[in-house]
Amino acid sequence: MRKVFVLADNIFSPLGKNTAGNIESLKKGRSGISLQQSPVSEIPFYASLLTADAKSGDPALSEFENIIVSSITEALKGGDADAASPRTGFILSSTKGNISLIEKNADLPDSRIGLSSSAERIAKKLGIRSEPVVVSHACISGLLGMITGMRLIQSGVYDEVIVSGADLITEFILSGFRSFQAISSEPCRPFDAARDGITLGEAAATVILSSREKEGAVLLSGGSVSNDANHISGPSRTGEELFLAIRNAIRQAGTQPAEIDFISAHGTATRYNDDMEAKAVHLAGLGSVPLNSLKGFYGHTLGAAGLVESIISLHSLKENILFPTPGFTNPGTEKTVNVIRELTTAKVTKCLKTASGFGGCNAAIILENLN
């Protein structure tokens, strides 16, 4: 089976418009989260939001489409990939896409608001010739996009795949999470005893996957998805289904739990998600493995989250550093996990990245540094 490598990447967020800027911000302990006075809410709320300038660009494109274009353009600079080649695929990952346009004009046609239409406009803007693939699967969308791209390369459909994801915070999204009483009253605190909900964030992120091994490229060696079918908005109470995704990803990677050096968890800071994830980690025999959640830096970036956090993780592997979990002070899950509290230097080779989302979906990938 063909090996799949992450050839290049980009994170476009309030912490930086390229990956290097984001990594530098995290090393300095900066968070993009602040108290926001935003048109999407009469009530101030904590979030990590992009500026209006950051979301501007081609007037023929929406803000959502423009940040995707910005992210892909930056990633292509470092990937030596030919976007116009018929052997290069394109996957767009998002939970809501252009939903904000409906809030401004409810009579817009599907051709303006549909994710498939957005993907086609983005592809045309960037000269991508292959037919776009859209992945919209709640909060595992970014990670599932990477798994889908990996499988397309492994099966020989493409030699390279551009996977990009984004979401912008809108009145619809914010009110939806508020209706679940899931928004934190302060910056989120993943896995902490005092956690009380999520903090939302905006970002776009891109990885270029390839069958070509390039110096410094990280191997995407395994990936798996599962579904617990527990509840439309509540995760499994046992963690067994996320454990299945973790176990299958580890097996696919041809590795063992004892070889996993750290975990980049989904860690939304909701009561049930963090408990479920901690249980899954223990079922996988990984309870003592260092673990972080990056939501305290970025907020929950929805369709971009799996990509943002995978990119940070692969650079952790390259630089042998482990980033902390902002907001974590006291353990607060039923099963205690080894949460990273401060920036740490450590020899790390293999990483497990997890994600979970509404509808009971779960995903896990394994990243390996071969250098």
Q: Which helix (H) or strand (E) holds 175?
A: helix 171-179
Mapping DSSP to helix (H, G, I), strand (E, B) and coil, where does residue 176 land? helix
- pLDDT of amino acid 228: 87
Final residue in a domain of this structure, among 158, 183, 210? 210
Q: What is the pTM of this model?
A: 0.97
In the block, residue with structure tokens 């080894």: 338
Is residue 68 located within the same domain as residue 89? yes
Q: 210, 232, 263: which is the final residue of a domain? A: 210
On the 0-12 / 13-18 / 19+ scale of CB atoms within 10 A, 349 is middle
CA distance 65 to 69: 6
Total domain count, the chain: 2
Contacting residues for 99 by C-beta, under 8 A, at least 6 apart:
113, 170, 172, 173
Q: Do 133 and 225 sit in the same domain of this protein?
A: no
Phi, psi values for residue 132, rounded to 5°: -65, 150
| Angle between helical axes of 305-319 and 141-154 (0-180°, round to 10) | 70
CATH of the domain at 37: 3.40.47.10
241 and 309 fall within a common domain: yes
Q: Radius of gyration of the chain from Cα atoms?
A: 19
pLDDT of residue 201: 98
Q: Is 225 in the same domain as 334?
A: yes
d(CA 81, CA 259) in angstroms, rounded, equals 31
CA 325 to chain CA mean position, Å:
16
- pLDDT for 107 equals 80
Structural contact between residues 33 and 14, judged by C-beta atoms closer than 8 angstroms: no
Q: What is the pLDDT of residues 250-284, one digit of tens each?
A: 999 999 999 999 999 999 999 999 999 999 999 99
Same domain, 13 and 158: yes
Query: Are 25 and 165 in a shared domain?
Result: yes
- Strand, helix or coil at 105? coil
* pLDDT per position as a tens digit, 166-180: 999 999 999 999 998
Residue partners of 341: CB distance under 8 A and separation at least 6: 324, 325, 328
Are residues 111 and 258 located together in one domain of the fold?
no
223 lies in the same domain as 204: no
Check whether residue 176 and residue 104 sit in a common domain: yes
**What's the domain range around 84?**
5-210
192 and 244 both lie in a single domain: no
pLDDT of residue 1: 85
Q: 210, 231, 258 — which closes off a domain? A: 210
**Do 267 and 193 sit in the same domain of this protein?**
no
> Mean pLDDT, consecutive 10-residue segments, the chain of 371 residues?
96 98 98 95 96 96 98 92 96 96 83 93 98 97 98 98 97 92 96 97 98 93 93 84 98 98 97 96 98 98 98 98 98 98 98 95 97 83
The amino acid that residue 300 corresponds to is: H
Euclidean distance between CA atoms 243 and 297, whole angstroms: 26
Residue whose pair of structure tokens reads 């070509």 in the numeric block: 212
Dig out the tokens for 199 from the structure. Answer: 């903090």
DSSP for 219-262, please give it: EEEEEEEEE--S-SSS--SS-HHHHHHHHHHHHHTT--GGG--E
- Looking at the chain, which runs of residues are DSSP E strands? 5-12, 34-36, 45-48, 88-93, 133-135, 160-167, 200-201, 203-210, 218-227, 262-264, 290-292, 321-322, 338-339, 344-345, 350-357, 361-369
pLDDT, residue 187, reads 98
